[in-house]
Every structure is written in structure tokens, then in C-alpha cells.
């Protein structure tokens, strides 16, 4: 086979178009085994994995020799005939004619045996060649695509907020500070404040970008760098916000079910749970949430925030995501509008995923009154001058508006059934890890 034979390669996701024909494929050796004189190679090309069968009289002398030398993750080109193989997940196999090693692989560190998580994270740059990690990232891709399609189909304009920001959005305790030509700025915690400006100009906008929090939390839900999607709508209240959230989440789950069955299968995800994710989602108030905790025998004081265990107890009562609204304003952000019926409450909503995956969405109706907002900023000890532009939005044609933020990694974790968010992003950043 020629050096550049890969130029004519067939990608394995298109292999069905070549049934009965001779093709060249190019990829990496996933695994190899023998049965008597027959050798079976599993070759992955990033799209799929295919079984290549090497038998004497069919394969070249060279191929028979090379098979013995091939190590796990060596890169190679294979030529051969595409046959049907009903037993394999792909449905096809290749009867090998010739093989050429392109790049040998010596002592590949991730063998099919079990490895510890620290080791795997240290080898993250290789780890996502493995089947399950590969499936998670493909589903992440599908979710991102669904998110963009959802907003495009619903007339939201993409509105990219800055990453360097002069002010805190989500509390001052989790800010990453950086020097900006002698000034102090922060990596953004949320694009929301900017999205509010966008909503006043475009009606409906969404942001999609990385956000940063210096979270000291060592939970399986926290990253220091994560991706957030934040729709913001002018002329919308908390009910409209919840309507959007349930439509949005259902749309995403439906897409994954339609397009990513093979990956869900690799991950052994219970599909029946995902199939229940259709509107309407249950809506309960924070205070009703406490009732559920009390029924479960928990002693919970009104005014405290729900912990991981509390969220799990509440979400376990329902077979689909539950929307918890009207939290005590004291534990919520400065920009949230108070409930006109009860000043102690914020018009906030958290969406809790089923099966203990916790909060995937946080949102609210925003305070739209200038004077109230000035008071709030002062009360939260935030610098008024950094919020001058934000206050302008209440000065020039203020309207009721609402929005939310969906955490991408937590959503991927829930849909794929992955316990820890560190496996849902190519290179996770946590308090322990910025390498590789």
C-alpha cells in the first residue's frame, strides 16, 4: 500500500455505501485478538469501530506479518472488502487484503484493564479515545447542536458577552481576578448582565460561552471553568421563563434520543428515564420543597439553601425535571425581582434534574426598577460605578424581563448518566487540576 493511500480512505460512518467493494480505511488499533489462525483487529477512525478479519490466502504476506507487530493505538491503513456482519454494532466488517502501519504505539498507557481516576485524568489527552469517553463528548456535541437549533428556531439572537468583566454577577466569593493593564478585572461568572442589555435591543437573545468560578467546592458538580447558555427575554415574567426552560430541556433530550442511541447504549444509559422528559414539568415553590424534605424526615429551616442531598430528595419525588421557584431573596442574587405577593421571596427558579443530578438551570425574573436596583447594589456591597451601564437599562425604557442559565456540563452529566462533571468536557478545570 502506498504512503498516501489514506488520501482515498473511506470514513467508517459511510462504510455502508461500500458494501461488497474494496476500500481503504485509516485509523488506530483499538484492540486485537486471535481465534486459531484468524486474527481480528478492531480499528477505530473516530467515527466508528470496525472489525477487520485477517486470514491466510486472503491477506497479503505483509499484512500477516504486520498484524503480529501492531500495538494498541498504533495508527494504520487497512485495505479490504466490506462485508455485512449482523452481530457487530456497526453491521459491517472488513476482510483484510493489506495493512500498513503508519505510526507505531509503544506502551500505550491506557490498557483495557481498570485504571484509577487520577491516572486517567492525567492521561486525559488520550483517555477520550476510549469508547465511553468518546460517547460522552459526542453527546455533548449533539446537545450543543440542539441548543443552537432550539434558539434559531425560536427567534433568539446570539449575543456574545465579554470574558473580561469589571463587575461580579454571581457573588464576590468565586471571582477569578486578573491584571488588565494595571486595572483589576475578573473572568466572567455569567453573561447575564450583558444579555439583559441585548434583550432590550433584540427582544430575545442567548449567550453561549465559557464562564469561570473560583469554586472551592470539591463536589462532582463543580468545575472552575464551565460552559453556560443564557437566554434572556424582554417582556417576560417568571412563568414565561419556566415555560421556556421546560421547552428547551425537552427539546435537547428529544434530540439526543433521536440521534445518539448508539452512544447512549455504550454508556448503558437507561433510556426510559429520558423518554419521560416532556412538558409540563412539575412546578413547586421553595416552601413546598421544604414540605417534601420534612415528609422525608429531614429537619430543614426555612431560609437555608438546599444542599445536594436536599435537591436529591426533592427531585426523587418526580419522574422528570422539577422546577423549584420563589426562593428566599436573602440567598439569591442581587438582580432578582422580589415577589410582589411576598417581599421575602425572589422570583427565581432552579431546575433540578432527576436521579440526583441536581441543579442544571438557575434563572429569574429580573428587577426592572431603577431605584430598587440601586438599593440592591448598595446592599450587596457591590461598586455602583461598575454597574452604571446596567442601571441605564432601568433608566431608558425598562420592561419586565427574565432569563436563565443552563450549565452545559451538568446537563451532559445528567443526560449521559455520568456521575462526575469532569468527564463531560474535553479538558476539565477543577481546583485540583489545570493539566493537561
d(CA 39, CA 376): 71
228 touches, from Mg ion, ligand 4AD, none (C-beta below 5 to 8 Å by class): ligand 4AD
Smallest gap from residue 106 Cβ to ligand 4AD (A): 37
d(CA 314, CA 358): 10
d(CA 94, CA 81): 5
Q: Which is nearer to ligand 4AD, 261 or 380 (CB)?
A: 380
The 280-309 site mask, x for binding ligand 4AD (CB under 6 A), equals ------------------------------
Cell, residue 413: 452529566
d(CA 23, CA 15): 9
Q: Which is nearer to ligand 4AD, 262 or 307 (CB)?
A: 307
Residue 198 touches ligand 4AD, criterion: CB under 6 A: no
Q: Which of 146, 175, 361, 382 binds ligand 4AD (CB under 6 A)?
A: 361
Count residues binding ligand 4AD (CB under 6 A).
Answer: 24
Residues numbered 383 to 422 that lie near ligand 4AD (CB under 6 A) are 403-405, 407, 409-410, 421
β-pairing, 177-180 vs 183-187, is antiparallel
161 touches, from ligand 4AD, Mg ion, none (C-beta below 5 to 8 Å by class): none
DSSP codes, 317-339: T-SS-EEEEEEEGGGS-TTBPEE
Residues numbered 201 to 230 that lie near ligand 4AD (CB under 6 A) are 213, 215, 222-223, 226, 228, 230
d(CA 271, CA 264): 8
- The single residue listed with the C-alpha cell 477520550 is 128
Q: Binding residues for Mg ion, per CB under 5 A?
A: 362
Smallest gap from residue 212 Cβ to ligand 4AD (A): 9
Q: Which is nearer to ligand 4AD, 192 or 418 (CB)?
A: 192
Confirm if 92 and 19 have CB atoms less than 8 A apart. yes
DSSP codes, 55-69: -TTTS-HHHHHHHHH
Q: Which helix (H) or strand (E) holds 210?
A: strand 204-212
Q: Which of 48, 93, 142, 170 binds ligand 4AD (CB under 6 A)?
A: 170
d(CA 265, CA 153): 29
Confirm if 357 and 413 have CB atoms less than 8 A apart. yes
For residue 174, report the phi and psi dihedrals to the nearest 5 degrees.
-120, 35
Residues numbered 341 to 360 that lie near ligand 4AD (CB under 6 A) are 359-360
Q: Which is nearer to ligand 4AD, 289 or 405 (CB)?
A: 405
Q: Which is nearer to Mg ion, 13 or 173 (CB)?
A: 173
Q: Which is nearer to Mg ion, 167 or 361 (CB)?
A: 361
Confirm if 231 and 197 have CB atoms less than 8 A apart. no
Interface residues toward ligand 4AD, by CB under 6 A: 169-170, 190, 192, 213, 215, 222-223, 226, 228, 230, 359-364, 403-405, 407, 409-410, 421
Amino acid at each position: 500500500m502506498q504512503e498516501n493511500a489514506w488520501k482515498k480512505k473511506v470514513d467508517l460512518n459511510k462504510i455502508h455505501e461500500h458494501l461488497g467493494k474494496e476500500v481503504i480505511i485509516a485509523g488506530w488499533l483499538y484492540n486485537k485478538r486471535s481465534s486459531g489462525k484468524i486474527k481480528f483487529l478492531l480499528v477505530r477512525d473516530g467515527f466508528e469501530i470496525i472489525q477487520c478479519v485477517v486470514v491466510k490466502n486472503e491477506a497479503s504476506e505483509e499484512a500477516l506479518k504486520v498484524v503480529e507487530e501492531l500495538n494498541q493505538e498504533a495508527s494504520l491503513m487497512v485495505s479490504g472488502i466490506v462485508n455485512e456482519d449482523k452481530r457487530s454494532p456497526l453491521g459491517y466488517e472488513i476482510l483484510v487484503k493489506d495493512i500498513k502501519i503508519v505510526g507505531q504505539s509503544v506502551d500505550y498507557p491506557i490498557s483495557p484493564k481498570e485504571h484509577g481516576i487520577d491516572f486517567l485524568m492525567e492521561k486525559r489527552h488520550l483517555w477520550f479515545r476510549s469508547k465511553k469517553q468518546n460517547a460522552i463528548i459526542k453527546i455533548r456535541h449533539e446537545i450543543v447542536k440542539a441548543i443552537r437549533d432550539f434558539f434559531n428556531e425560536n427567534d433568539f439572537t446570539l449575543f456574545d458577552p465579554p470574558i473580561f468583566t469589571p463587575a461580579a454577577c454571581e457573588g464576590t466569593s468565586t471571582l477569578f481576578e486578573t491584571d488588565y493593564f494595571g486595572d483589576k478585572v475578573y473572568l466572567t461568572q455569567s453573561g447575564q448582565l450583558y444579555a439583559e442589555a441585548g434583550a432590550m435591543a433584540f427582544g430575545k437573545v442567548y449567550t453561549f460561552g465559557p464562564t469561570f468560578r473560583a469554586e472551592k467546592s470539591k463536589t462532582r458538580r463543580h468545575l472552575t471553568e464551565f460552559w453556560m447558555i443564557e437566554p434572556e427575554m424582554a417582556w417576560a415574567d417568571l412563568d414565561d421563563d419556566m415555560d421556556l426552560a421546560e421547552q428547551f430541556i425537552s427539546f435537547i433530550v428529544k434530540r439526543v434520543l433521536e440521534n445518539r442511541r448508539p452512544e447512549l447504549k455504550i454508556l448503558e444509559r437507561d433510556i426510559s428515564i429520558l423518554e419521560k422528559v416532556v412538558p409540563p414539568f412539575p412546578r413547586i415553590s421553595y416552601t413546598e420543597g421544604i414540605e417534601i424534605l420534612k415528609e422525608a424526615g429531614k429537619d430543614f429551616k426555612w431560609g437555608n439553601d438546599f444542599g445536594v442531598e436536599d435537591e436529591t430528595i426533592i427531585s426523587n419525588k418526580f419522574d422528570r425535571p422539577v422546577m423549584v421557584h420563589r426562593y428566599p431573596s436573602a440567598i439569591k442574587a442581587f438582580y432578582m425581582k422580589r415577589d410582589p405577593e411576598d417581599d421575602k421571596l425572589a422570583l427565581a427558579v432552579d431546575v433540578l434534574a432527576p436521579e440526583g443530578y441536581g441543579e442544571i438551570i438557575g434563572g429569574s425574573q429580573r428587577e426592572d426598577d431603577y431605584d430598587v436596583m440601586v438599593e440592591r447594589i448598595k446592599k450587596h456591597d457591590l461598586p455602583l460605578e461598575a454597574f452604571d451601564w446596567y442601571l441605564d437599562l432601568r433608566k431608558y425604557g425598562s420592561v419586565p424581563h427574565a432569563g436563565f442559565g443552563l450549565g452545559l456540563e451538568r446537563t451532559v452529566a445528567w443526560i449521559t448518566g455520568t456521575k462526575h462533571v469532569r468527564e463531560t468536557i474535553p479538558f476539565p478545570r477543577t481546583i485540583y487540576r489545570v493539566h493537561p
